[in-house]
Amino acid sequence: MTPLLLLMFLLVAAGGTVVVSTQDPKRQAVTLSVYGVLLALLFLLLQAPDVALSQVAVGTAVVPLMVLLAVRKVRGGKR
Amino acid sequence: MSVFPYLVAAWLLLVGCFGVVRSRDLVHTVVCVAVAQSGTYVLLLSVGYQKGASAPVQGAPGPVVDPVVQALTLTDIVVSATVTALLLALVIQIAKREDTVDADKLDELRG
Amino acid sequence: MDPAWLPPLGIAVPLLGSCVLLAVARFAPRVVTDVIAIATALISTAAMAGLLVATTSNRVVTWAGGWTPTQNLTVGIVLQADQIGAGFALLACVLTVCALIYTWRYFEDAGAHVPVLILLFMAGMTGFSLTADLFNLFVFLELMGATAYALTGHKIEEPRSVQGGFTFGVVTSLGAYFMLAGIGILYARTGRLGMPQIGSALDGHGMDALVLLAMVLVLTGLLVKAAIVPFHFWLADAHAVAPTPVCVLFSGVMAPLGIYGTMRVTTTVFGGVLPPSTLHHTLVLLGVVTAVLGAVLSLIQRHLKRMLAYSTIAHLGLFLVGMATLTANGVAGSVVYVLGHAGVKGALFLLVGALLARKGNVDEISLYRQGTNDGLTRWLFPLAALALAGLPPFGTGLGKAISEEATGSPWLIGTFVLVSAATGGAVLRASLRIHFGLGPQPYEADRDTTSGDDEKPEGRFPHRTPATMLTAILVLLTGGLLVGVLPVISRIIGDGAQRFLDRQGFIEQTLYSYEPVRLAELSHVEWNWAAVLLGLLSVLLAVAIALIGVFRGVPQWLDKPLHVVHRLHSGHVGDYVAWLVLGIAALAALFSLS
Amino acid sequence: MTRQVRWVVFWLGAAGFGVLAVLAMIRMPGFGSLVHPYRDLAVPLANARSTPNVVSALNFDQRALDTLIEETILLGSVVGAAALLRPSDHEREHLATEEGRTLEATRLLGYLLLPMTLMVGIDVVVHGHLTPGGGFQGGVVLATGVHLLYVAGSYRTLQKLRPLAWYRLAEALGAGAFVVLGLLGLLVAGGFLVNFLPYGTSGDLFSSGTVVLLNIAVGIEVASGVIVLLAQFLAQALTVQEIR
């Protein structure tokens, strides 16, 4: 395993942990988005450009956007 | 060292479950479920990796990595996004009905 | 027509039907969308009935995309139908037709959301019954899951409904992801995805920690669907809140499909590396615990739909015990039981739905003496309750008796009798109070459990039960009766059970297109005196339990232990996921110890 | 259950799972191994059908049934989310005031990016059988592109340029087209989802048989599906309000 791959795996493991331990969902949307980028980079290194493209489109754009909109609605309801 | 990627995958699955168990906010719960699922992406793609092989596209010279797991992961990603959307939709409705998204304060269903 | 066309049609027809529905929903009046939905379900039913007939002579093997293997190697996905698989697919279609008839002009629903979701759900169930590819199985599982969460939470006005849907979604999704991880590990070991391919590849390797982990993970996903302890928590929360016709599908076929998947995978994929005695002991233990816990919880409910849901958990445990005998008789008995149970339990859910539509309440205590003026339903309710306990000649009674005989152990027979009596007794108790006003006015002491008071009525029919609802109830109850009465059904299932367990034939026919050897031993799936007597014993016990419940109530000394059981079922998604993780570890421990 | 009990249950399970996972994973084939039997079957078959992107060959030809069901899951989820997020009896849609002001530069950037994103999306869809990407990835890019309007202009502009009924129709038609192509395979070539069209020359736009058509069908379905899905969430966050 190349050092670069090793580093990427470590970053992904750490990234997932950070997303889980971010308590505030609004900030979690941001960490989730960053985590999505990390995953996409790992997939590129693993020679999976198709998957990386999907991950960028879904994991860093659509899903975090939905999370943000949900947080906005949920918080708005609590006021 | 060659088991490390698989352990990362197992870690992500477990840490996602940990997050769900600890969560005090249902939106947070949904994101943790998504993190758990990302463990399966890492597992699948690691299984299909081959040292020195290139991406399975465009008649690449030499060996290519396993395209099957990539096809499976693509499906997996779609499933993840759709499940996340449905769960978030449910959370929005829970927030409207109950004025809280803290699982500890929801006790409509018990016994 | 080549029977190999039928399995893909069972999947494609509902998909096409739901696309048409979605496209026309904007312009077409309500009647048109209802007709399209029912017609689609009927066409699928016909296709699956044809498939069942075709499987009586042989397995039907279809390679999607035309990728028939050459020298047992292929890249394609295989669909394989035997009598049991085709039977489950047919059951899913028939119940869908009943659910759609029941919902005739029932939901106020502009976009035809509900019929579309129900049709997609049906496609997921038929595909799940017919596929013999492990990843494809996961995909169908997710299709069933995604549509089911949405259907569960459909009554967005009700806090319980959306909560039940959410818990259901989180727990079954996580279960499915663990299953996918297991599939990934199997792929790493064998480089295959089809069940026959993985099965024959594993035979050479033997069992080790890696295969054990893969097996436990794959089974986790399936056992969560099957609501086996400790993966059962979500079921009551989801069933209690889903729209009534959807409950019919959940209880009647979706949860039993989890058992079917468990058996399909353990026998074909792991049949060569897993000693049958290990599998037998583990599954019997899981089944008995599930059955007993489900029966106890069913007895202590006052919310009628939750009562029925816990009774489903109890029956799922019994189905698993029957299957775990790994004999043709046991499997046949379980499948007959599943079919009879689908009819009877479906009818009971719809009867509760009719109560809800008229009184706006599903609480046993609040409804005391409220149903004394009901017409036909007043008599159908206790009849269905007795059928649930195993009244001959209902299919439940026949299936229970054959399973009991197959286990051959007095302890297990006792479990079957007591558990079925308890679930039937619980429902009968409710009916005696509601429809016949027996016993003293029940008092409100129990604060541990959810009451059925705050449910919103589904549809508005205060005066009488509409004919469509009554039709669906009668069709289901008659179906449950016919399963026990028509010898042709039990004969097909008996033959199918042998083929279901014939692993060698399954692999040879799918991969090498060998003609199967005609199996000699025929299972005896029919009524005999012992079966009738055991059925009557369960019914008597059920009546006794119901009468004790009505006149005496729960004894004081049970309060404390029941309180603990209640508190375990907390409705908290974190609790359920903690149990899920513990369940994985426990499953692995059970398999490696026995 | 109290939090304490919950944690005991979880940690017991996690410890068991962890031990088993470590014991099992050391028996996995090493990372980067050379043995991939399924790949060795799939790659030559993909090349024989003029599909250089083997992942697309797997998704739309060899294991097309998986993708059909995957797209059905998407369809079901969009319908499900629409059902769950419908305005209830006590709610109505109401857009109060325009939210803040967008900077002119942002607005310009959005309008410039929009056509580019749409071009990229279409490109990714139609070349799915040749280059990385395909119907799903391109569809999501297209859907995201349309939402640049929200960044650039306003929610009102987005609403005007986003006739949701049409997207719902397009979604149903895209999903239906996949099924119909599969059924045509059954009628023409005797098998569901058979790739029954001529494979053409590798590298051409119109090659690889039905793969390119299925990619386009999925592209239409995903793009409209994701637009409808995001529209539900946007509506909830911005316009749906309880009547007090």
Question: CB of C267 within 8 A of CB of C132?
Answer: no
| Residue pLDDT, tens place only, C38-58 | 999 999 999 999 999 999 988
Interfacial D residues in 148-167 facing C (CB < 8 Å): 165
Q: Which residue has the tokens 């592209």?
A: D219
Both tokens assigned to A17: 């942990």
Nearest alpha-carbon partner for C224 in C238, C237, C235, C209: C235
Question: What's the pLDDT score for residue A79?
Answer: 43
Whether D178 and chain B come into contact, CB under 8 Å, resolves to no
Residue C103 banded pLDDT, cuts 50, 70, 90:
confident
Q: Which residue has the tokens 């129990």?
A: C446
What domains does chain B contain, in order, with CATH numbers? 4-50+66-105 (1.10.287.3510)
Question: What's the pLDDT score for residue C454?
Answer: 66
Whether D175 and chain A come into contact, CB under 8 Å, resolves to no
Alpha carbon A22 to chain centroid, angstroms: 12
Q: What is the mean predicted confidence (pLDDT) over A60-72?
A: 91
CB count in 10 Å sphere of residue C231: 28
pLDDT of residue A78 exceeding 50, the answer is no
Percent of chain C with pLDDT over 70: 95
Task: Give me chain C's average pLDDT, please.
Answer: 91
**Chains meeting B at 3+ CB pairs closer than 8 A?**
A, C, D
Angle among Cα C398, C402, C407 to the nearest 5 degrees reads: 150
Q: Find the residue in D nearest to A66 (Cα).
A: D233
Flag if A74 and B64 touch (Cβ within 8 Å): no
pLDDT of residue B3 exceeding 50, the answer is yes
Q: Find the residue in B nearest to C141 (Cα).
A: B79
Question: What's the pLDDT score for residue D102?
Answer: 62
> In chain D, what residues touch B66 (CB-CB under 8 Å)?
36, 38-39
Measure CB to CB from residue C5 to each of D17, D64, D186 and give the nearest one: D186
Whether D241 and chain A come into contact, CB under 8 Å, resolves to no
Helix (H) or strand (E) segment spanning residue C77: strand C77-81
Flag if C73 and D41 touch (Cβ within 8 Å): yes
Whether A57 and chain B come into contact, CB under 8 Å, resolves to no
Flag if C67 and D27 touch (Cβ within 8 Å): no
Query: B88 to each of B82, C66, C486, how far by Cα in Å?
Result: 10, 39, 47
Nearest alpha-carbon partner for A59 in C140, B77, C229: B77
Whether C456 and chain D come into contact, CB under 8 Å, resolves to no
Question: What's the pLDDT score for residue C10?
Answer: 94
Flag if A47 and B39 touch (Cβ within 8 Å): no
User: Rounded distance, CA C307 to CA C472, Å?
Assistant: 21
| Residue pLDDT, tens place only, C575-593 | 999 999 999 999 999 999 8
Whether A19 and chain B come into contact, CB under 8 Å, resolves to yes
Residue A45 banded pLDDT, cuts 50, 70, 90:
very high
Q: Hey, of D9, D19, D27, D28, which one would you mutate to test binding to chain B, going by the most B CBs within 10 A of its CB? A: D28
Domain containing residue A44: 3-74
DSSP state letter for C556: G
Nearest alpha-carbon partner for C415 in C559, C407, C386: C407
Flag if B110 and C569 touch (Cβ within 8 Å): yes
Both tokens assigned to C200: 């024959």
User: Rounded distance, CA C122 to CA C107, Å?
Assistant: 19
Between residues D182 and B60, the one the model is more confident about: D182
Residue C171 banded pLDDT, cuts 50, 70, 90:
very high
> In chain D, what residues touch A57 (CB-CB under 8 Å)?
137, 140-141, 144
> In chain B, what residues touch A55 (CB-CB under 8 Å)?
41, 77
User: Rounded distance, CA B69 to CA C252, Å?
Assistant: 35
pLDDT of residue C108 exceeding 70, the answer is no
> In chain B, what residues touch A48 (CB-CB under 8 Å)?
45, 48, 55, 65, 70, 73
Flag if B86 and C149 touch (Cβ within 8 Å): yes
Within a domain: A79: no
Question: What's the pLDDT score for residue C451?
Answer: 75
Question: CB of D6 within 8 A of CB of C575?
Answer: yes
Flag if C571 and B107 touch (Cβ within 8 Å): yes
User: Could you tell me which residues come within 8 angstroms of residue C29 by beta carbon, excluding any fewer than 6 positions away?
Assistant: none
Residue B58 banded pLDDT, cuts 50, 70, 90:
low
Shortest Cα–Cα distance, D25 to chain C (Å): 7
Domain containing residue D96: 36-242
Burial A41-69 (b: 16+ CB within 10 A, else e): bbbbbbbbbbbbbbbbbbbbbbbbbbbbb
Whether B105 and chain C come into contact, CB under 8 Å, resolves to no
Nearest alpha-carbon partner for C400 in C330, C464, C492: C330
How many domains does chain A divide into? 1
Flag if A50 and D31 touch (Cβ within 8 Å): no
Q: How many residues does chain B have?
A: 111
Within a domain: A13: yes
Are 3 or more Cβ–Cβ pairs between A and C shorter than 8 Å?
no
Shortest Cα–Cα distance, B94 to chain C (Å): 6
Within a domain: A15: yes
Within a domain: D210: yes
Question: CB of D58 within 8 A of CB of B68?
Answer: yes
How many domains does chain D divide into? 1
Between residues C308 and D147, the one the model is more confident about: C308
Interfacial C residues in 130-149 facing D (CB < 8 Å): 135-136, 139-140, 142-143, 146-147, 149
Question: What's the pLDDT score for residue C265?
Answer: 96
Whether A6 and chain B come into contact, CB under 8 Å, resolves to yes
Residue D99 banded pLDDT, cuts 50, 70, 90:
low
pLDDT of residue C476 exceeding 80, the answer is yes
Q: Among C265-274, D65-74, D233-242, which is the least confidently predicted range?
A: D233-242
Shortest Cα–Cα distance, C292 to chain D (Å): 21
Question: What's the pLDDT score for residue D91?
Answer: 79
User: Rounded distance, CA C500 to CA C323, Å?
Assistant: 11
Q: What are phi and psi of C243, to 5 degrees?
A: -55, 140
Between residues C363 and C348, the one the model is more confident about: C348
Question: What's the pLDDT score for residue D101?
Answer: 57
Residue B101 banded pLDDT, cuts 50, 70, 90:
confident
Question: CB of B58 within 8 A of CB of C200?
Answer: no
Whether B81 and chain A come into contact, CB under 8 Å, resolves to yes
Measure CB to CB from residue B94 to each of C166, C300, C306 and give the nearest one: C166
Flag if D136 and A72 touch (Cβ within 8 Å): no
pLDDT of residue C349 exceeding 80, the answer is yes
Whether B34 and chain A come into contact, CB under 8 Å, resolves to yes
Measure CB to CB from residue D140 to each of A62, A70, A72 and give the nearest one: A62
Nearest alpha-carbon partner for C197 in C75, C366, C318: C75
Whether C180 and chain B come into contact, CB under 8 Å, resolves to yes
Measure CB to CB from residue D134 to each of A50, A65, A76 and give the nearest one: A50
| DSSP-derived secondary structure for C398-463 | HHHHHHHHHH--HHHHHHHHHHHHHHHHHHHHHHHHHHH--SSPP-----SS--STTPPPSS--SS
Q: Find the residue in D nearest to A71 (Cα).
A: D237
> In chain D, what residues touch B93 (CB-CB under 8 Å)?
84-85
> In chain B, what residues touch D22 (CB-CB under 8 Å)?
7
Residue D174 banded pLDDT, cuts 50, 70, 90:
very high
Crossing angle for the helix pair C209-226 and D3-25, nearest 10 degrees? 140
Whether D77 and chain B come into contact, CB under 8 Å, resolves to yes
Flag if C574 and B21 touch (Cβ within 8 Å): yes
Whether D235 and chain A come into contact, CB under 8 Å, resolves to no
Within a domain: D5: no
User: Could you tell me which residues come within 8 angstroms of residue C589 by beta carbon, excluding any fewer than 6 positions away?
Assistant: D16
Q: Which residue has the tokens 């027509």?
A: C1
User: Rounded distance, CA C116 to CA D80, Å?
Assistant: 9
Between residues C561 and C421, the one the model is more confident about: C421
Between residues C458 and A12, the one the model is more confident about: A12
Residue D90 banded pLDDT, cuts 50, 70, 90:
confident
Within a domain: A10: yes
Q: Among C376-390, C456-470, C552-566, which is the least confidently predicted range?
A: C456-470
Question: What's the pLDDT score for residue C444?
Answer: 66
Whether D15 and chain B come into contact, CB under 8 Å, resolves to no
